[in-house]
């Protein structure tokens, strides 16, 4: 790993890491990966609403943190001499539409607090943006890295504002901010909570336990997706990348596959032949999905920091079913 001085912070030299929203879908897999790489005692996991995984508490530091409490955040950063924050705490798209006020507070105030504390303490910041940062005016196929971003969801408004705020803290204060635009994330460890792409996780549980699933998005709804091991690797590789090769920062398009619900169902059917899929469209989540890209162009991430997904639809499906069969008995 290379180390150098860059603006106010060191880059590629994560030593003491804080993860907010660590008990969520990404955090529950990112924390163990970071602990293996950087040492358990050097990765502080924090969560708020969900109870922590047993291993989080047993294997390394864990503490409760509400990211809207800037004093509590600053104390943790100082007490643990944190140099890098993976800021994952946020409400997802569908739940944000149900409670826009709470979503703005958690998603925007939380990020602002993280950036302020990072400015004061010389921390680098990873901020996950999303396909939700795009909107109905964005080209939906081969969605360019730099394009129209006029989302019509509160979640999307927070993601675009977050990308801009992170860029501002980098150019104005030298805070080493970096981020990716995640597609729908598929994982077997922790369920997502209130997203539009959640069907691609729920379907596996229902296929194994009930042999049928009722999908809330309609046939033909193509969306970008990614398996969690790729998503975790993307976050770590971007934070370890040489900043001299980064022309973009907040945030890189990254994708691994694009499929419609019926294509995922057909893949699952190969492993579980009795599985059937029904549809009952939820108009709110369908409208959100219809405003998002079908397939992003992630060439900038590939060129600037070597992004390369490892799982496609077939390999992800096989791996998910294998793990969930063991987990669900």
- 297 by DSSP, 3-state: which? coil
| Eight-state DSSP code of residue 21 | T
Is position 131 an interface residue for ligand AKB (rule: CB under 6 A)? yes
* CB nearer ligand AKB, residue 9 or residue 196: 196
| Interacting residue with ligand AKB among 23, 28, 118, 130 (CB under 6 A) | 130
Supply the minimum distance, in Å, between the C-beta of residue 210 and ligand AKB: 23
Instruction: Verify cis geometry, omega within 30 degrees of 0, for the bond prior to 251.
Output: yes
With binding defined as CB under 6 A, does residue 153 bind ligand AKB? no
Distance CA 102, CA 29 (A): 25
Binding to ligand AKB (CB under 6 A): which residues in 165-204?
Answer: 182, 184-185, 192, 195-197
- Alpha-carbon span 149 to 136, nearest angstrom: 9
CB nearer to ligand AKB: pick between 72 and 284:
284
List the interface residues with ligand AKB, window 248-307 (CB under 6 A): none
Cβ(65)–Cβ(20) under 8 Å?
Answer: yes
Kindly state the smallest distance separating residue 242's Cβ from ligand AKB, in Å: 28
Q: Please, what is the minimum distance in Å from the beta carbon of residue 133 to ligand AKB? A: 9
Toward ligand AKB, which CB reaches closer, 83 or 97?
97
Which runs of E-coded beta strand occur in 156-271? 177-178, 180-182, 184-186, 212-215, 223-227, 252-253, 257-259
**Residue environment code for 275-294, b if the CB has 16+ CB neighbours within 10 A, otherwise e:** bebeeebbeebeebbebbbb
Chosen residue from 132, 135, 243, 293 binding ligand AKB by CB under 6 A: 132
Contact by Cβ (8 Å): 9, 28: no
| Chain position whose Cβ is nearest to ligand AKB | 195
The answer to whether 305 and 247 have CB atoms below 8 angstroms apart is no
When the beta carbons of 44 and 200 are compared against ligand AKB, the nearer one is 200
N-to-C CA span, the chain: 41
Strands (E), the chain: 4-6, 9-11, 17-20, 43-47, 62-64, 84-87, 124-126, 129-130, 141-143, 177-178, 180-182, 184-186, 212-215, 223-227, 252-253, 257-259, 276-279, 295-296
Which residue among 155, 169, 182, 213 is the active-site one? 155
Task: Reply yes or no on whether 222 is catalytic.
Answer: no
Q: Considering beta carbons, is residue 60 or 151 the nearer one to ligand AKB?
A: 151
User: Contacts with ligand AKB: how many residues (CB under 6 A)?
Assistant: 13
Q: Which stretch binds ligand AKB (CB under 6 A): 127-135, 213-221, 269-277, 297-305?
A: 127-135
Told to check if 151 binds ligand AKB by CB under 6 A, we report: no
Q: Which is nearer to ligand AKB, 195 or 309 (CB)?
A: 195
**Which residues are annotated as catalytic?**
155
Instruction: By CB under 6 A, name the binding residues for ligand AKB.
Output: 92-93, 130-132, 155, 182, 184-185, 192, 195-197
């Amino acid at each position: 790993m290379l180390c150098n001085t860059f603006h106010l912070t060191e880059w590629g030299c994560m030593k003491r890491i804080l993860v907010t929203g660590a008990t969520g879908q990404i955090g529950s897999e990112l924390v163990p990966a970071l602990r293996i790489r950087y040492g358990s005692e050097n990765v502080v996991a924090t969560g708020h609403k969900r109870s922590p995984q047993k291993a989080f508490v047993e294997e390394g530091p864990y503490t409760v943190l509400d990211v809207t409490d800037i004093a509590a955040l600053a104390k943790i950063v100082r007490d643990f001499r944190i140099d890098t924050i993976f800021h994952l705490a946020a409400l997802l798209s569908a739940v944000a539409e149900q409670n826009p006020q709470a979503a703005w507070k958690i998603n925007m105030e939380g990020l602002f607090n993280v950036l302020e504390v990072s400015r004061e303490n010389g921390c680098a910041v990873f901020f996950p943006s999303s396909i939700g940062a795009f909107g109905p005016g964005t080209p939906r196929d081969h969605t360019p890295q730099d394009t129209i971003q006029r989302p019509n969801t509160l979640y999307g408004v927070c993601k675009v504002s977050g990308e801009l705020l992170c860029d501002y803290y980098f150019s104005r204060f030298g805070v080493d901010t970096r981020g990716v635009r995640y597609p729908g994330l598929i994982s077997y460890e922790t369920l997502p909570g209130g997203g539009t792409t959640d069907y691609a996780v729920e379907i596996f549980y229902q296929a194994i336990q009930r042999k049928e699933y009722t999908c809330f998005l309609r046939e033909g709804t193509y969306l970008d997706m990614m398996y969690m091991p790729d998503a975790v690797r993307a976050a770590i590789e971007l934070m370890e990348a040489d900043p001299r090769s980064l022309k973009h920062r907040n945030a890189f398009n990254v994708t691994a596959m694009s499929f419609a619900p019926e294509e995922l169902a057909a893949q699952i059917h190969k492993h579980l032949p009795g599985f059937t899929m029904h549809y009952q469209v939820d108009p709110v989540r369908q409208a959100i999905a219809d405003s998002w890209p079908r397939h992003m162009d992630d060439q900038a991430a590939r060129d600037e920091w070597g992004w390369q997904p490892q799982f496609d639809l077939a390999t992800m499906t096989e791996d998910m079913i294998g793990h969930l069969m063991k987990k669900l008995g």
